[in-house]
């Protein structure tokens, strides 16, 4: 890999800026000041430093974001702030959200350029659990719970015109929130359009607040506040089955 590309991938600057930085002696390779920006380096073996800070190379990038309300789960949008806008200090080229959260939904969102991982997390065949904290208008009856857990018609249809029911889900009753509204955890394995809201509407209820808590083995870091993010830890990458970062 060329040195200027390596530095560019770390969001150091434009190619023109990087050329000037290297010319001014700000970059070192294995302790030796680099002379040219277009020389080739071994990103996996060479120790490359910029302004004295060693830069590590990663093939893929993984960020956990606590998505706030009012932000869209997209890479670009003409009207609203996107989740990539929240990672403005990072090199976001190639990053995509693994699944989407509605603009008024908050919680866990994984952003990565690892397409294989995104596929594994989103493929319906993988049956990856997604856990949501749901504050609803009124309490669920036992019958409502059975409907949600057995699979329910939310208005989608198959090619033959028959209802395309949701996959079996799991409902956990969590009590009341500070405003006296019932709180449940809803565990689903799909990612249909507005699915949680439509499931509750199908049993005559209404979602008042929605937050994703986990996706597969990845859980929202309780220390994050809405709008903040961090890189995934080695432990989290391991439980997601990531073999090479």
Kindly list the catalytic residues: 102
Closest CA to 119 of 23, 204, 241, 4: 241
- Residue 239, Cβ neighbours under 10 Å: how many? 13
Answer yes or no: are the C-beta atoms of 224 and 64 closer than 8 Å.
yes
> What is the number of other CB atoms lying within 10 angstroms of the CB of residue 8?
18
Q: How many CB atoms lie within 10 A of CB 159?
A: 6
Handedness of CA 232, 233, 236, 238 (dihedral sign): positive
* Residues in contact with 175: Cβ distance below 8 Å, sequence separation at least 6, in sequence order: 182, 183
């Amino acid at each position: 890999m060329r040195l200027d590309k390596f530095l560019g991938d770390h969001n150091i600057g434009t190619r023109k800026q990087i050329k000037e930085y290297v010319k001014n002696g700000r970059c070192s390779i294995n302790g030796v000041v680099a002379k040219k920006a277009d020389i080739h380096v071994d990103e996996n073996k060479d120790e490359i430093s910029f302004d004295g800070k060693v830069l590590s190379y990663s093939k893929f990038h993984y960020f956990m974001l606590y998505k706030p309300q009012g932000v869209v789960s997209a890479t670009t949008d003409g009207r609203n702030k996107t989740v990539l806008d929240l990672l403005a200090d990072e090199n976001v080229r190639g990053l995509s959200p693994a699944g989407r959260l509605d603009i008024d939904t908050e919680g866990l969102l994984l952003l990565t350029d690892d397409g294989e991982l995104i596929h594994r997390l989103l493929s319906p065949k993988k049956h990856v659990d997604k856990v949501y904290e749901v504050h609803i208008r009124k309490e669920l009856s036992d019958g409502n719970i059975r409907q949600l857990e057995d699979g329910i018609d939310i208005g989608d249809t198959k090619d033959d015109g028959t209802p395309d029911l949701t996959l079996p889900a799991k409902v956990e009753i969590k009590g009341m929130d500070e405003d006296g509204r019932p709180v449940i955890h809803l565990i689903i394995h799909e990612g249909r359009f507005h699915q949680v809201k439509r499931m509750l509407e199908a049993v005559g209820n209404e979602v008042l607040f929605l937050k994703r808590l986990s996706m597969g083995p990845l859980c929202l870091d309780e220390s994050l506040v809405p709008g903040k993010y961090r890189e995934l830890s080695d432990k989290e990458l391991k439980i997601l089955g990531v073999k090479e970062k």
